[in-house]
Structure 1
Amino acid sequence: MDPTEDQSDTLTTQPEDQNDATTTEPEDPLADIPELHTYVATDQEERTAALRLVADSIAQMRQAANNSLIFNPLNMAILVAVFAVVARFMIGRGHEPFIVGTTCTGILCIELVLIRNLTQEYLSAAEEINWAWLGDADLIVTKFGDEIIGTAVVNWVSGESRQKRKKAWRGEIRSWTVRLRYRGKGVGTALLEQAIKESKSKGAEGIDFADYHANSKRVTPKFYSGKFDKADRRARAKLQDMLETSPTKTRRKRGGSS
């Protein structure tokens, strides 16, 4: 056998093997990641998890309120001024620096205790989220695998239609929240989209956030609750924009809450 023929066969088969290797489709890296599903929950276990998520969102407001009070520039300036006055007074009376530092630490602890007591009402409000609070409202949930990561509570109430010849349904969103680590990923938008679809399927004249929803509670002066108020305005504006651009646009009553 001619050795050149063997070489030729070898040279021609190698590229074919390499070509086969390069044309093999890589595995989908997202193949094992579960999809998101948004729907009205009817399963009791899912509804319980969704209610717990609403309660958790209210309890989390306490921590946000605490941070707002502790790290507010005005409050920090007042605290530093108090430290300075106390330290000057005590040093003038001949107290040792260690005693001065201990006293200032005690003042800081008193401030933290007062703040925690002030925001305690958020925990009380979270405990009020139960089946009685839910009533006949729908629980729209977003599920990621086996975990409920977002929910919107929509209550359907009757009211005068614009023609005032008949009663009409409208939707009120009493809660809208997403688990902390999933926020900013479009889950909240999907919940609002589903709420709009539900309002359309029920023939509702409109849908909007309730004036007093689960996360509208404020226990601190308005000066410190700006972050909460801003988030509320953003949510209402987002819903309004989605209603205006929705392909299945739901009619809204004029003069609704803003």
Structure 2
Amino acid sequence: MPRPPLPTAKQLDLRSSLQTVTDFTVAVPGFKTSAAFFSFLRANLVLPPSTLNSNTSTPLLDPSSSQTLPPLFPSSLATMTSNAEDEVVLAPNPLEGVPPLVTKQLTDEDDKVAALKLIADSIAQQRQQAARAIIFHPLTLAGYILLLAVISNFIYKSRSDLGIVATTSAGVTMACLVAIRGLTGGYLNLAEEFNWKFATNEDGEEDIIIGSRYGEEIIGATILRLEGKGNGSGKKKTKSGKTGGKGVVRAWTVRVKYRGKGVGTELLEEAVKITREKLGNTAEIGFAAEHANSKMILPETFNASFRKREARAAKALENVVESMDTGSKKKR
């Protein structure tokens, strides 16, 4: 059977008219879906965009005006960058509000009284040091253990006596602590006896009182006595710079919570400076044999810690003198 002739190019021209597409659809049933799609596409291409009533999700085929877009705001990163360039943020000063430490000779009576009270407190504080020296001394520990052993051997007979042994041992311990408290109580009496007379020489002249002030508080004190010639009487110095006198440190202390921070060193430096100004650059300076903290009420066996403290103080003064002498030589 011969095949029907194929449609010509003229019959397939979709751009001629909508009627041609419709006729072709009827003639070719297999192209019904395609014909409907082309009909819809042609209708949308013919109508202007302004006449369409589509949803907001339907994309626009023509360029949209700027009125339909949300306004553009500057990026937050750009704002941060501009602020960082325009404004310079200064880091807070960690020392802001911290009062300075001033070490100098005291002239006000109230300051002198505060310095003397501080020295009296240092004398009273020797009681704790003496108590520790007694408690931790090898002889004390050996005697305490021996005493507990004798009491336990005398009382303990069976396991039921353990409670009595423990109670008795606690009582003995309390009695020993009370005895140590009584032995060291003399330092409180020494602190109470400390007064203005200590800072006055035989001629009635007042010693030089040096203080370290931190804010409104006196945290360190030193009593300096100038002995011999040239102690402020206005006598002339010799060619060698000597005046025949010496400086004697009779008290040197710092408040407990400020110790170990260099306050004591500044006090000694000021004492050396004043001594050299009044007695010459080669004047000697040292600690007095009978300084404010020199009296000891315990037997010499328990005074090892006090002797070590005196040795450390003398070494500290020696180091200050050497450093100041070295500094003066370099300046020359």
**Counterpart in 2 of 1:228?**
306
Q: Supply the AA of the counterpart residue of 2:177.
A: L
Which of 158, 161, 164 is the aligned partner of 2:228?
158
Q: Secondary structure at the match of 2:279?
A: coil
Q: Secondary structure at the match of 1:202?
A: helix
Alpha-carbon offset, residue 148 of structure 1: 0.4
Given the superposition, is the C-alpha separation of residues 112 and 10 from structure 1 closer, same or farther in structure 2, using an over 3 Å criterion?
closer
**Counterpart in 1 of 2:50?**
none
Matching of residues 115-194 of structure 1 within 5 Å: 115-135=180-200, 136-158=206-228, 168-194=244-270
**Counterpart in 1 of 2:101?**
36
**Counterpart in 1 of 2:41?**
none
The separation in 2 between residues aligned to 1:86 and 1:12, in whole angstroms, is 85
Determine if the alignment matches structure 1 residue 72 to structure 2 residue 160.
no
Given the superposition, is the C-alpha separation of residues 114 and 162 from structure 1 closer, same or farther in structure 2, using an over 3 Å criterion?
farther
**Counterpart in 1 of 2:89?**
24
Q: Secondary structure at the match of 2:194?
A: coil
Determine if the alignment matches structure 1 residue 60 to structure 2 residue 138.
no
**Contact 2:247 2:284 (C-alpha < 8 Å) held by counterparts:** yes
Q: Supply the AA of the counterpart residue of 2:317.
A: L
Between stretches 33-42 and 237-246, larger displacement belongs to 237-246
Q: Secondary structure at the match of 1:24?
A: coil
Alpha-carbon offset, residue 71 of structure 1: 2.5
Alpha-carbon offset, residue 162 of structure 1: 11
**Which structure is higher in strand share?**
1
Matching of residues 207-222 of structure 1 within 5 Å: 207-222=285-300
Deviations 1:74-108 (A, max 9, x none): 32232122101111111249983333333222222
The separation in 2 between residues aligned to 1:61 and 1:78, in whole angstroms, is 24
Alpha-carbon offset, residue 113 of structure 1: 2.0
Q: Secondary structure at the match of 1:219?
A: coil
Q: Secondary structure at the match of 1:149?
A: strand
Deviations 1:173-212 (A, max 9, x none): 0111000000000000000010011001112522110011
Between stretches 125-134 and 37-46, larger displacement belongs to 125-134
Matching of residues 195-206 of structure 1 within 5 Å: 195-204=271-280, 205-206=283-284
The separation in 2 between residues aligned to 1:218 and 1:200, in whole angstroms, is 32
**Counterpart in 2 of 1:253?**
none
Q: Secondary structure at the match of 1:96?
A: helix
Deviations 1:29-80 (A, max 9, x none): 2110100000111111111110000000010010111012112343223212
Count of aligned residue pairs for this structure pair:
243
Gaps of 5+ in 2: 1-65, 201-205, 231-236
TM-score normalised over the length of structure 2: 0.66
Alpha-carbon offset, residue 139 of structure 1: 0.9
Given the superposition, is the C-alpha separation of residues 12 and 94 from structure 1 closer, same or farther in structure 2, using an over 3 Å criterion?
closer
Identical columns (%):
38
TM-score normalised over the length of structure 1: 0.84
Given the superposition, is the C-alpha separation of residues 10 and 242 from structure 1 closer, same or farther in structure 2, using an over 3 Å criterion?
closer
The separation in 2 between residues aligned to 1:68 and 1:11, in whole angstroms, is 68
The separation in 2 between residues aligned to 1:196 and 1:90, in whole angstroms, is 63
Q: Secondary structure at the match of 1:215?
A: coil
Given the superposition, is the C-alpha separation of residues 152 and 248 from structure 1 closer, same or farther in structure 2, using an over 3 Å criterion?
farther
- Higher RCO (C-alpha 8 Å, min separation 6): 1
The separation in 2 between residues aligned to 1:199 and 1:224, in whole angstroms, is 35
Q: Supply the AA of the counterpart residue of 2:127.
A: R
Larger radius of gyration: 2
**Contact 1:200 1:248 (C-alpha < 8 Å) held by counterparts:** no
The separation in 2 between residues aligned to 1:103 and 1:7, in whole angstroms, is 86
Q: Give the CA RMSD over aligned residues.
A: 2.9
The separation in 1 between residues aligned to 2:86 and 2:256, in whole angstroms, is 46
Alpha-carbon offset, residue 9 of structure 1: 9.6
The separation in 2 between residues aligned to 1:159 and 1:99, in whole angstroms, is 71
Determine if the alignment matches structure 1 residue 47 to structure 2 residue 112.
yes
Alpha-carbon offset, residue 14 of structure 1: 4.1
**Counterpart in 1 of 2:169?**
104
Gaps of 5+ in 1: 250-258
